[in-house]
Structure 1
Amino acid sequence: MSAALNVVRLERLSPDERRRCLTRTESDLGPYLEKVVPIIAAVAEEGDEAVARFTRQFDKAPVTADRLAATPEDFIRARKALAPEVAEAIAFAAANITKFHQDQKPEEMWLHEISPGAFAGDRISAIPSVACYVPRGKGSFPSSVMMTCIPAKVAGVEKIAVVTPPSPDGNIDDATLVAAEAAGVTHVYKCGGAQAVAAVAHGTATIPRCAKIVGPGSPWVVAAKRLVADLIDTGTPAGPSEAIIFADGTVDGRLCALDLLIEAEHGADSSAWLVTADPEVADAAAKALPQFFKEMSPERVAYAEAVLKGPQGGIMLCPDAKSAIAFINDYAPEHLQIMSREPMAWLGSFKHAGEILLGEYTPSTLGNFVLGPNHVLPTGGWAKTASALSVFDFMKRTSIGHVTRMGYDALARQARIIARYEGFDAHANAVSELRRKFLKN
């Protein structure tokens, strides 16, 4: 195996070394939190001026406070400038993503008879507004526009804003604008990082205050979300990309290496592991990686090498499948790909993952862009308790109850007993004989 690649044997790791393999870059936000505090404070006090200043400082883009919003002319320019095949691919992806989330959408209300004459259920309604954060630092991501905006539209959110860092020329990426238009969104703003999070949390003269913010981002974004969580719902924890490929002995290790690079190329802050109990798969993957690097740009190779040679990625060779599965369940990856000729045989073993992609024909590329399920997924181990972004993230449930005269007596008697036991006099009185005096026959 390549000495340049991080190759780990699970059984040789100490408990501390195993824990280090489970960590991600957002696990330690301390340095970022300290730097983000003054950014949030400045945006809260100065509004658009601070947003523009930080955009010039961090994104090196000539943005001014009076030009933060995309104009109708920007959308027209983007449509004309974007290559037709890219526009066609965006339309294809948008259709699949829309179909998936429409199928996911729950009924607007349900009401079931809990006991004779007593009914309870939920009414489902959209949240009032949301900011969709679309990162840009290591590339432009129209797919993230669709993955955040489309389910919000399907859910029925009335006010949707996109915040995204501008290009070095001060404009918004063409594909990003076309994707926003495909999602039915026209409010797009030239700001990213902590200043964008602060802007939608506090609101500025140009950028609206929103009820929620969704979308993946850097540790700067994750830190900012944590600091404004008392002002805005910060949604599913979504930090730098991470993936685990689990492979049994039925697949070609070179295919595993090909797919291992998908999330590794996102950036040096990503995490990517090939986890297998098969030495031949591990060896074939390690030997294939240099060949695949030749098919990538130097920038993406640098990112992937930083991940696969560092503490947050590489190949993990396990003594058996049981230990491999245990490690993966402890890791709770954002993306999990089961590389096997019979992936369904393994599916039940994995308990925690943002998404699970099955088999040799389902690389993350398809899930990230066109398959339909959402690619905004919980990172940093949050897949143990959180889910993929969905229409449910843009909706809220209101409990509904209705008790008829026929159902009242049975419920009132039991509720009165509990109310008295807990010492709530008014609770008990409201379901006592006192109530009967005021009820019409």
Structure 2
Amino acid sequence: MTANISFWQLDQLSGEQREQLLQRTESDLAPYLQQVAPIIDQVRQQGDRALVEFAQRFDGAAISTEQLRVSEAEFEAAAALVDADTLEAIRYAADNIRRYHQAQKPGEMTMQEIRSGAFVGERFLPIPSVACYVPRGKGSFPSVVLMNAIPAVVAGVERAIIVTPPGADGSVDAATLVAAKEAGITEVYKCGGAQAVAAVAYGTETLPRCSKIVGPGSPWMVAAKRLLADRLDPGIPAGPSESIVFADASVDGALAALDLLIEAEHGPDSSAYLVTTSPEVAEAAIRALPEHWAEMSEQRVAFSSTVLCGPMGGVVLAADNDAAFDFINDYGPEHLQILSQDGWQYLGRVKNAGEVLLGPHSPSTLGNFVLGCNAVLPTSAAAKTVSPLSVHDFMKFMSVAYVTESGYPELAKQAHRLATYEGFDAHAAAVSEKRKRYL
């Protein structure tokens, strides 16, 4: 086996070594928290001036405070720069994403008669505002625009904006602006990282304060969201990309290697494992990786090789399926791809994953771009308790209850007993005989 690719045999690892494989870049945010705290404070105190300074310092972009918001002229110029094929792909993806999320949207209200004459239910409403974060440091991501913004628009959020880092020339990626318009967003602001989180948490002269922020980002952004969680809803944990590809003996290891590279190429802070019970698949995957790298750009090779030759990536050989899926469920991956001629046989074993893509014709690429299901997924094992981004993240519900005259007596009797037991005099009095005087 090639020495450079990290290779792990689960049954030969100590408990500490196995635990180390479960770590992610943002598992320890302590150093990032220290670094972002002064950035947040400067944005809070200086507003737009701080954003302009950080755009120069972190993005190399010399922009003025008047250029923080993308102008209509910039939107028009971007539309002219996007080629017909890319535009068609953006519209195709947007249509699928919109259909998927429209099906998620609940009705305006639900009610059920829980007891005779007693009705309870929920009324669903959109949240007032949201900032959709679109990263740029390691590439341009119009697909992330669609995944973040479309469910917000479908939910009916009154004010949805996009924040994204500017390029060195002070511009926003053209396809990102086209995707924003396609999603129904007209407010786009040039700021990224921790400073963008702070800007929408406090509001500046130009950027509005928002109720929530959603979208994937770096550990610096994740740290900023944690520090500002008392100022705005930080959304689902969405840090650097991570994936597990499970492959059984029915597929070619070279195919597994091809799909292993999908999330690994996002950046050196990503995590990606191939998990298999087949030594032959493991060996074939390791042999194939250099062949795949030979056809990739230098930057993507650098990113993915750092991941797959490091401590948070590589090939994991399990003794059997039980051991393989115990590891997968402990890891709780953002993306889980099951490569098998019969992928459905394994679905029941999966308890923790942001998404599961079944079979050799369902690579993560499709989910990331065009399938329609949301690709903003919980990272760092948050999939154990958190779901993918959806329409529900942009909505809230309030409980609604109504009791008829005939339904009241029995409920009042039982409530009076509990209120009396717990020592709440006013609670008890409100459902006592005293109430009858006023009805």
Shorter-chain TM band = over 0.9
SS in 2 for 1:120: strand
Q: Distance in 2 between matches of 1:65 and 1:47?
A: 10
Alpha-carbon distance, 1:167 to partner: 1.1
The Cα of 1:107 is off from its aligned counterpart by 1.4
Quote the Cα distance in structure 2 between the aligned partners of 1:12 and 1:129.
50
Partners of 2:107 and 2:311 in 1: CA distance: 45
Residue number in structure 2 paired with 1:244: 244
SS of 2:438's partner is coil
- Residue identity opposite 2:231 in structure 1: L
One-letter amino acid of the structure 1 residue matched with residue 188 of structure 2: V
Q: State the secondary structure of the residue aligned to 1:315.
A: strand
- Report the alpha carbon displacement of residue 31 of structure 1 after superposing the two structures with TM: 0.9
Is 1:227 matched with 2:240? no
> C-alpha distance in 2, partners of 1:74/1:270?
32
Structure 2 partner of 1:267: 267
Measured after TM superposition, the shift of residue 248 of structure 1 is 1.2
- How far the C-alpha of 1:252 sits from its partner, in A, is 1.0
After superposition, give the CA deviation of every residue in 1:187-238 in whole Å (9 maximum; x if it has no partner). 0000000000000000001000000000000000000000100000001000
- In the TM superposition, residue 111 of structure 1 has moved relative to its aligned partner by 0.2
Superposition deviation, residue 302 in structure 1: 0.3
CA shift at 1:307, angstroms? Answer: 0.2
Alignment deviations for residues 81-108 of structure 1 (CA, whole Å, 9 cap, x no partner): 1111111110100000000000111111
Equivalent-residue separation in structure 2 for 1:400 and 1:340 (angstroms): 47
What's 2:407 paired with?
Answer: 407
d(CA) in 2 for partners of 1:302, 1:63: 31
Q: Could you tell which deviates more after superposition, 238-247 or 58-67?
A: 58-67
Write the mapping of 1:39-438 to structure 2, written as runs, cut at 5 A.
39-438=39-438
1:267-313, CA deviations, whole angstroms, 9 ceiling, x for partnerless residues? 00000000011111111111110110011100000000000000000
Unaligned runs of 5+ in 2: none
Give the Cα separation in 2 of the matches to 1:63 and 1:2. Answer: 47
CA distance in structure 2 between the partners assigned to 1:281 and 1:412 by the alignment = 66
Letter in 1 for 2:168: P
Q: Normalization by structure 1: what TM-score?
A: 0.99
Distance 2:424 2:45 in 1: 46
The AA in structure 2 aligned to 1:260 is L
Matched position secondary structure for 1:51: helix
Aligned-pair identity in percent equals 59
Q: Secondary structure at the match of 2:107?
A: coil
Greater than 4 Å deviation, 4+ residue runs:
none
1:369 is aligned with what amino acid? Answer: F
Q: Could you tell me how far apart the structure 1 residues matched to 2:196 and 2:94 are?
A: 25
Give the SS at the match of 1:131: strand
Shift of 1:247: 1.1
Q: Alpha-carbon deviations, 1:48-99, whole Å to 9, x = none?
A: 0001101110011112222100000011000001111111110100000000
The AA in structure 1 aligned to 2:80 is K
> Once the 2 structures are TM-superposed, how far is the Cα of residue 27 of structure 1 from its aligned partner?
0.3
Q: How many residues align?
A: 439
Paired residue secondary structure (1:409): helix
Structure 2: distance between partners of 1:418 and 1:235: 37
AA matched with 1:16: E
CA distance in 2, matches of 1:213, 1:428: 43
Following superposition, the deviation at residue 117 of structure 1 comes to 0.5
Write the deviation string for residues 21-67 of structure 1: whole angstroms up to 9, x where unpaired: 00000001111110100000000000000011011100111122221
Provide the secondary structure at the position in 2 that maps to 1:357. Answer: strand
State the alpha-carbon separation in 1 of the partners of residues 139 and 36 from structure 2.
23
1:363 alignment partner AA:
P
The AA in structure 2 aligned to 1:214 is V
Cα distance in 2 between the residues matched to 1:227 and 1:17: 30
Instruction: Please state how far the C-alpha of 1:340 moved relative to its aligned partner.
Output: 0.8
Partners in 1 of 2:57 and 2:300 — Cα distance? Answer: 24
Alignment partner of 1:111: what SS?
Answer: strand
* Structure 1: gaps spanning 5 or more residues: none
Deviates more, 1:56-65 or 1:231-240: 56-65
